Structure formats: C-alpha cells, structure tokens
Chains A and B, each alone.
Chain A
Amino acid sequence: MEIYLDNCATTKVCPEAAEAAMKAMVEDYGNPSSLHRMGLRAERILTGTRKAAAALLGCDYGCIYLTGGATDSNNIAIQGAVRARARMGKTIVTTTVEHPSVGETVSMLEKSGYTVKRVAPRANGQFDPEDFLEAVDADTVLLTFMMVNNELGTILPYEKVVPALKKRFPDLLIHIDGVQGFTKLPFHPERLGVDLFSFSGHKLYAPKGIGGLYIRKGLRILPVEYGGGQEKAIRPGTEAVPAIAGLGAALTMIKAHQSEIMRNYRERQNQVRSLVKEIPGVVINSPENGCPHIINLSVPGIPSEVMLHALEEKSVYVSSGSACSKGALSGVLKAFHLPDERIRSALRVSFSRETTGEEIEAFAQALKEVTDRLGAVVNG
C-alpha cells in the first residue's frame, strides 16, 4: 500500500478532472481564439473554469485569470502591481516566511530599487497583526503575503490585517498567495478588500501547470509577458485548455464536497497528534490553530532526509523541511524561531481528501519503527 502524505507538494488528480482534461484533448481540442465553432467550444471550457473558481471565492467570474500555476500568478500579481503603482511609492511589505515565488520576486524588486520590509513571526511562532500595520506606510505600494504557511500550516492574520490597512490606505494594493489556503479556509476577497489572490491547480486535485489569479474588478495591472492578448493581455499565450478543464472539474468537485473534505483533514490531523504522542522523541512543530491539512513534526537527532527515505522504504511519502545534504537549514522554519535541531529533523505530513484513518495508523506505526531503528544507529 502506498501512503501518500505529501499533498502540500502536489495531489493526485481527481477522476473528474482527469476525464475533463482528456475530453478537452481529444474532443474539444480547438483553439479558444479561433472564430469557428471548435474555438467556441474551447472558450466555453475557460468560462466554465472561471465560474467554478468564482463560485468558491464569491466573486464575478470576470475577475478570474487563468495562469500557468501559482508561481506564474504570484509573479504577475507582484510585478504587475508595482509597475501599475510605479509613481505612487517605492516600498513593498511582505513577510519572512514566503514561498520563493513571492520571496524571490520581491528580492528582485529590492535589488532594482524598492524598499522591502519583511514582517516576522513573534517568538511564539505567530504573526501579530499590529506588526503589519506598523510596517505599511504611505510610501507602500504593495503588501504581499501568504494565506497559510506551506511548511507549518500557520494561518496568517489576513482577516484582521487586510480590512484595517485598506481603511488607512485605500490605494495600497494587497496580494495574498492563497496556494495552501484556498478552499481550505473561508475566503472572500471582495469582502476583505484583497486586490490580488493567487492559487494553484495541482494542490487541489487538478493537473500540474495550471493556476489562477483573482484581480479585483476595475484594477489594472501591467503584464509581465506580452503576446496575443489572451486573458485580457495579462497572461498571453494559447490557453492550456486541457489543464484548465481539469481545474474547473476539480474546483467543482471541491465545492460539492467541501465540508466532508475539511472534516477529513481535521480528523486526520487530530489522529496524527494523538498517535505521535505515544512515540518517544517526536515533537510537533505546527501550531494548534493551524490549517488542518498540514502537520509538521520533528524527531530531533535524525536528519529529515534520512527519516524521509526510511519512511519511503515503507511506502510512506512525506516531505522534509530542508535538504540536509548541504547543511543549509530551512530559512522559513528558522524564521518561525524553531530550534536548529528541530529544523534539521523536520518532516511535513499533509493530507488529501482521500487520506484514511488506516493510512494514518500505518504512518504512525512506520514512524515508530523507523524512529526506533534510526535512533539506535544515530545514538549508538
């Protein structure tokens, strides 16, 4: 039995999405830009997917732009926003725990002359909303941060921060990287005042290579790439219709089953928490109030990668917080003030809608066996 607990890295495509993608490849294979009927049929697929995403975000489907994935969305959002606000200020506010697609993009802008302020978690590993309010000033053109941290599951305080800042600075653009939070937490960009919101398909049972970007109605940002005008010229290039069809089907499936999917995440997390209590040496790194589909834990003394491969031998697949080989510790876990020993041994376990209680029991059993065996080698 393969026990796949790395669903924050990517998920298995759901049957509905695979079928929709297949149909788009062999039946509705026209180019959405073509004027004939085959083109129209392909264009309808794009519209269907926009509507499915809009239904989950409570927005107009015209606000949904389809992209090549969340890295693409984040780049378009951040670079496009600062370029659209070029004359209004030179400061960007973000956090110290971002995914590289945000972190690196912001660093590139920093090198080109922007002032970047990075809000850090407090000593308890939580963000204080006050820190965001303090960082943003009249020179700030963009606030960009993640909805849920991808390594620990920590939920960032967007519910408090976004409305408060929008009230003080109506022209400030706010971008949320929603890759790990979208469909897992209630989120309504218009109600909150979020201008830009990125999400990825393959974390949500859709194929890889497809993502989306919500852009607030009436907001104009400048494109990063230029071409044939697709996606209102924000993301030109012939649309990846099969992947888009898959995304639409996956989002529709999630919408129909959202509460049972969420219940499963929560139950699995509770199960892991109670089972690992019985294994000496295991400590939990994720906060109690984190996003339910992620749990991060450590077995101090045993390097993450060795642990990962030992679990792999038992067909259990998890993720390591950091690559031990080069000795570099995960910058994000360090930013959350985790001790080095825990960072070196951090493992991320993440659930899917299909993860079962038996799988979690088998994972806990494997973790116990591997901890015993490796513990003896490392300490012996």
Chain B
Amino acid sequence: MKEIILAKNGEIALKGLNRRRFEEVLMRNIKWRLRDFGKVKISCMQSTIYIDPEDSEFYDFDGAIEALRHVFGIASISRAIVLQKDMEDILEHVCDYIENALFDAKTFKVEAKRSDKQFPLKSPEIAAQVGGKILSRFHRLKVDVHNPDITVMVEIRDKGAYIHAGSIPGAGGMPVSSSGEAMILISGGIDSPVAAYMMAKRGLSLSAVHFQSPPYTSERALEKVETLCEKLTPYTGRIQFYCVPFTEMQEALKAHCPEELFTVMMRRMMMRVATRLAQQKEIEALITGESLAQVASQTLEALHCTDSATPLVVLRPLIGMDKGEIIKISREIGTFETSILPYEDCCTVFTPRHPATHPKLSALEKAEAMFDYGPLIDRAVEGTELKPITG
C-alpha cells in the first residue's frame, strides 16, 4: 500500500495572482526541512502539497510529519493511503488501513470530498458506502456525526483517491522567506528567540546578530545563543549567525558615558553595528525582543532613543506582550530551557545600578559626542564572524 503526506496550504491559499510564487517558496522550504528523511517527490495541486516518498514502506512518516508541523505556511497535515479512484479498491483497503487508528475509538464518522467531479458517486454516497463497510467489519463501533472519536476522510482528487484518519494542525503563518529577510538581535534571554519565531511565522527568513564581550562573557554564553538559533531552525530554516566582538565598545562606554545611560547607549551602538551588517546583505529590517516597560531600556523614551540609531524598520513582535505570555511561547517552541541557563550576555561589571528610565535623545547625543565611537563601530563590524546555523 502506497502512502503519502498531504499538507494543506494555510493563508497562502487565499492569495491571488501571487499564489504560485508562495507555493513554490513553501515547497522549497518543505524540501529543505525533509532533506534528511530520504527522497520524496513534492508537488502542489488544489492548495495541497503532496509529499510522495520514493520508498514509502521504509519512510519515517512520523519523523517527517513532526518536521512538517514546524513549517510555516501549512494549515494541516495528514498521512494518507493512495488508492485507485475506484469504489471497489477503496472499500477493499479502507478497513485495514484505519484499523489501528480505530483501535481505541467507540464512535466515528466518514467524511468524503470529491474535487474530481467526474467520479460517479457524490460525496454523501461515498461516505455512506465507506461507513457501511467499516460498521460491518468493526461491530463495536457506532456512527456519531457530531462528536466522533475518529473522522475517516475519503478524498477523491484529480490524481487518485486518498484515505486518512484525520489531520493534525500545521504551524500556520506564511512560508519563511516569502516576506523577505530580517536580522534579529539575539541575546540569550527568553525574549529574542520568541521574537525570531514570531517574525519567521510571518514569512521572514532570518539572520541573527549576537554581541559577545569576552572575558566579561564566557564561551558558554556564545554556545547558548548558538543552541537557541539551532532550536529555532525547525521553524526558521537556516539562520545566518553573526557574532560581533563587543568588548572594546563596552569598555569604552564604561569609561566615557554617564553610568545611568550605559544600557541605552550600548543598545544604540548595537543597532548601529547591526544596521551596518544588515545593509551589507541588503537586509531591510531588524527584529528585537523588546516588550514595552519590561526593563529600563524598554520604556517608550528608551525605545525612541534606540530607534533613532537606525534607518531600518525595527520589528518588535513582543511589544504588547506580558512576560508570562512570552514564556508560554518560549516553552512551546522549546527555547525556554536553554534561555534560562545561567550564562549571561552582559556582565554585572557594566550594568548601571540606577539606569535612566526616561532617557532624552538630546542627552544621549551629547554623551555620544564626548568620545569618538566611530572607529569602535568599524572594528566591531570588521571583526564580526559569520556562521550559518542549519540545525
């Protein structure tokens, strides 16, 4: 018996003339995500992507479906058996195929969909015949059309008939890279990986930039951030990871800027370095994990000061979320455990005791004029190392 995976398109099914382009991006993403599972043929028809393994007998369907659950752009996923568009063939195989799925069920219903209108039976008739066959084989089962334990789907499509015992929800959203590319400022905390996940869900492919300052931060802190990126790749695909040497900058800020402005000034320097890196790659937006009022550098005034340091669009998907809501997503996407490891990205040597909560842009600009930070930004950009993280 030949099996395949059907992935139903989500939001992109609603697109107009561009639909084909979105579908192609999605198919490319699926191909990349399933690259380690063996050869498959991938095609798209009627807003459904068909994933057809060359060797369906030994294909790791569970693993592949788990991988597909993380691919943005997919609304639902089902594993189905492929049959002839022939009622006899369908009735012969349906019971064997769904026997395991029905093992623990008390009630079921059959739903039929006939997108091939040439098929001689109408949907209700198909459902009735298949339902009758199941009842005659499994006497303990009852039909419940409102609240069944299992829904058996029979789909008569252009290329064949497909039977499956229900579908699982996909990740939703838009296919990664269908909306362009952005660069996430990633620290190692709980928030930035969640922000990255959320923007990938809206179709952005990602680069990540991390600022490290040895010996004030350890190699383990860097490793932690790389692990976070790795954990995001099932959702985001490959991440270009930029690691910026930032020690010299932090030491200069500590020596030359007013203590209470340290954090906001550091954020502005980070934005400047990130902007330079992004522009080299024609990346149009930055992403941060900031949430309004969470800490001193995330007040309205502080955000204004940070924004003023870059001409790029700054996306802040967490801006209106509570910490609890952010943590919930972080647990769901599996980054939480790594984020709470104790290796910190900024040493207590630098963090001001009383950071300014309402910094004025003019005060910052005046403080920045006291020292020539330009060469330090240049050196940070030049010293940046790129490492693609494929997961």
Contact = CB atoms under 8 A, between A and B. Distances in A.
Contacts of A307: 215
Contact of A326 (B219, B251, B342): B342
Contacts of B218: 305, 309
B258 to A, nearest CB: 14
Contacts of B349: 303, 306, 377-378
A306 B342 contact: no
B216 A306 contact: yes
A377 to B, nearest CB: 5
Interface residues of A, number: 19
A143 B348 CA distance: 41
A380 interface: yes
Contact of A380 (B214, B215, B254, B344): B254
A308 B255 CA distance: 22
Interface string A301-325: 0010111111111000000000111
Residue of A309, A310, A313 with most chain B CB atoms under a 10 A cut-off: A309
**Interface class of chain A by DSSP:** helix
B173 to A, nearest CB: 35
A309 B254 contact: no
B344 A309 contact: no
B121 interface: no
B212 to A, nearest CB: 11
Contacts of A326: 342
A324 B346 CA distance: 12
Interface in A171-197: none
Interface string B200-225: 00000000000000111111000000
A182 B218 CA distance: 33
A312 B217 CA distance: 12
A325 B344 CA distance: 6
Q: Is the interface of B mostly helix, strand, loop or mixed?
A: loop
Nearest to A324: B348
A325 B214 contact: no
Q: How large is the interface on B (under 10, 10 to 19, 20 to 34, 35 or more residues)?
A: 10 to 19
Residue among B215, B255, B347 having the largest count of chain A Cβ atoms under 10 Å: B215
Contacts of A306: 215-216, 347, 349
B214 A309 contact: yes
B215 to A, nearest CB: 3
A303 B347 contact: yes
B214, B343, B349, most chain A CB atoms within 10 A: B349
A303 B216 CA distance: 9
B216 A325 contact: no
Nearest to A380: B255
Contacts of B219: 309
Contact of B215 (A309, A325, A327): A309
Given A303-B348, A303-B349, A377 B251 contact: yes
Contacts of B348: 303, 324, 327
B347 A313 contact: no
Nearest to B214: A309
A138 B255 CA distance: 63
Interface in B184-242: 214-219
Contacts of B216: 306, 309
Interface in A302-359: 303, 305-313, 323-327
B215 A313 contact: yes
Interface in A102-125: none
A312 B215 contact: yes
B254 A325 contact: no
A59 to B, nearest CB: 42
A352 to B, nearest CB: 23
Contacts of A305: 218, 347
Given A306-B349, A309-B216, A377-B349, 13 more contacts: A306-B347, A308-B215, A309-B214, A309-B215, A309-B218, A309-B219, A311-B215, A312-B215, A313-B214, A313-B215, A323-B342, A324-B348, A325-B343
Q: Which 6 A-B pairs have the closest CB atoms?
A: A309-B215, A310-B215, A325-B342, A325-B344, A377-B251, A309-B218
Interface of A: 303, 305-313, 323-327, 374, 377-378, 380
Interface of B: 214-219, 251, 254-255, 342-344, 347-349
10 contacts: A303-B347, A306-B215, A306-B216, A307-B215, A309-B216, A313-B215, A325-B344, A377-B255, A377-B349, A378-B349
